[in-house]
């Protein structure tokens, strides 16, 4: 399965990917990262709330000769986060990488938002990353070379546009990532954050999207190019690899230049 290219220190490492499923054969951010890491020789535990979706990602990896396992998990549960990390170590003998992908959207201002929904978004978008990292980091410390974590935020954290609770949660992901980078640099654990733009992923198009809306999202990029889960997956692979050995606490914007232009208020979270 591995090609002739340099694996950048990824071969034979172990990664836990949360939110690694996707509808059908669609390519979401987590699924793309899982497949790309597996192609580089990483053993991957794919976690998703829906086991069928996680299993499909594992099947796609197996079809290319890679190594993967699937596990259903509700990562809002501390016990299930702990169990995920233990499962990765039990199955593959170690844990080197964590890719935190789980997230949900919201719309409206602080006046419009219901407090319960605000708490739910913060729990899913921020607390899940806190909980998984809480148990992944000690496992990474036990390896000879530490490890690396990537947390998925959003350009909404950098450019608010009418999605106030979502923006708040994604901004918190940036702060969490940078604080973790400071706390655990001494443990040789790097922590970085990716802010995707308007990617065309199953989570987005499953809600329904007209051709006109898709064209508008594409044209928001200065490249006039549509982003996909593969673009985020490649960024995750880079940040987890030895090519990024001197990069930590950083925010990598993967948006085709969308944030370089004047913001527009939109109804779809990115």
Question: What integer pLDDT is reported at residue 82 of this predicted model?
Answer: 98
Question: What integer pLDDT is reported at residue 209 of this predicted model?
Answer: 80
Establish if 265 belongs to a structural domain: no
End-to-end CA, the chain: 32
Chain centroid to CA 123: how far?
16
Establish if 9 belongs to a structural domain: no
**Spatial separation of the C-alpha atoms in residues 188 and 97, rounded to whole Å:** 12
Alpha-helix runs per DSSP H in the chain: 29-39, 51-63, 78-92, 115-122, 128-141, 164-184, 202-205, 211-219, 229-240
**Spatial separation of the C-alpha atoms in residues 152 and 125, rounded to whole Å:** 9
Q: Residue 2: pLDDT above 50? A: no
Question: What integer pLDDT is reported at residue 269 of this predicted model?
Answer: 54
**Spatial separation of the C-alpha atoms in residues 16 and 96, rounded to whole Å:** 8
Q: Give the pLDDT confidence of 87-116 residue by residue, as tens digits.
A: 999 999 999 999 999 999 999 999 999 999
Alpha-helix runs per DSSP H in 99-163: 115-122, 128-141
Establish if 221 belongs to a structural domain: yes
**Which tokens belong to 64?**
């290319």
Asked whether 185 and 259 are in contact (CB, 8 A), the reply is: no
Candidates 29, 22, 48; CA nearest to 229 is: 29
Percentage of residues in the chain having pLDDT higher than 90:
84
The three-state secondary structure class of 53 is helix
**Bridge pairing between strands 14-18 and 43-48:** parallel
**Bridge pairing between strands 68-72 and 189-196:** unpaired
- Backbone φ and ψ of 72, nearest 5°: -80, 135
Q: Give the pLDDT confidence of 6-23 residue by residue, as tens digits.
A: 569 999 999 999 999 999
Question: What integer pLDDT is reported at residue 263 of this predicted model?
Answer: 60
- As beta bridge partners, residue 200 has 228
Q: Give the pLDDT mean for 214-220.
A: 90
Question: What integer pLDDT is reported at residue 1 of this predicted model?
Answer: 47
Active site residue 246: no
Question: What integer pLDDT is reported at residue 127 of this predicted model?
Answer: 98
Establish if 192 belongs to a structural domain: yes
Q: Counting beta carbons within 10 angstroms of the beta carbon of residue 260, is it exposed (0 to 12), middle (13 to 18) or buried (19 or more)?
A: exposed
Establish if 3 belongs to a structural domain: no
**CATH, residue 190:** 3.40.50.720
Establish if 229 belongs to a structural domain: yes
Establish if 269 belongs to a structural domain: no
Establish if 6 belongs to a structural domain: no
Q: What is the largest CA-CA distance in the chain?
A: 55
Q: Which of 166, 200, 205, 246 is catalytic?
A: 166
Domain count, the chain: 1
Q: Give the pLDDT mean for 113-127.
A: 97
Q: Give the pLDDT mean for 215-238.
A: 94
User: pTM of the entire structure?
Assistant: 0.93
Name the average pLDDT for the chain: 93
**Spatial separation of the C-alpha atoms in residues 98 and 33, rounded to whole Å:** 11
- Band the pLDDT of 171: cuts 50, 70, 90: very high
Average the pLDDT over each of 120-134, 215-229, 256-270 and give the range with the smallest value.
256-270
Q: Give the pLDDT mean for 109-130.
A: 97
Question: What integer pLDDT is reported at residue 190 of this predicted model?
Answer: 98
Domain of 246, in residue numbers:
14-257
């Amino acid at each position: 399965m591995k090609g002739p290219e340099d694996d950048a220190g990824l071969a034979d490492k172990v990664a836990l990917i949360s939110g690694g499923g996707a509808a059908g054969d669609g390519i979401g951010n987590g699924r793309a990262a899982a497949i790309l890491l597996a192609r580089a020789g990483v053993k991957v535990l794919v976690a998703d709330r829906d086991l069928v979706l996680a299993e499909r990602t594992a099947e796609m990896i197996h079809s290319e000769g890679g190594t993967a396992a699937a596990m259903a998990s509700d990562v809002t549960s501390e016990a299930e986060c702990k169990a995920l990390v233990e499962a990765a170590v039990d199955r593959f003998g170690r844990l080197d990488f964590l890719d935190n992908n789980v997230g949900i959207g919201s719309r409206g201002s602080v006046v419009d938002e219901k407090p319960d929904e605000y708490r739910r978004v913060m729990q899913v978008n921020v607390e899940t990353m806190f909980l998984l990292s809480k148990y992944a980091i000690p496992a990474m410390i036990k390896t000879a070379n530490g490890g690396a974590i990537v947390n998925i935020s959003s350009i909404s954290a950098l450019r608010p546009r009418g999605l106030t609770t979502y923006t708040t949660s994604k901004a918190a992901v940036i702060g969490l990532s940078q604080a973790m980078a400071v706390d655990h640099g001494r443990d040789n654990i790097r922590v970085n954050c990716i802010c995707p733009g308007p990617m065309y992923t199953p989570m987005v198009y499953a809600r329904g999207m007209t051709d006109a809306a898709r064209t508008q999202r594409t044209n928001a990029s200065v490249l006039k190019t549509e982003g996909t889960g593969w673009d985020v997956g490649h960024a995750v692979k880079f940040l987890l690899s030895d090519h990024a050995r001197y990069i930590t606490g950083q925010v990598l914007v993967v948006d085709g230049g969308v944030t370089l232009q004047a913001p527009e208020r939109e109804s779809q979270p990115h």
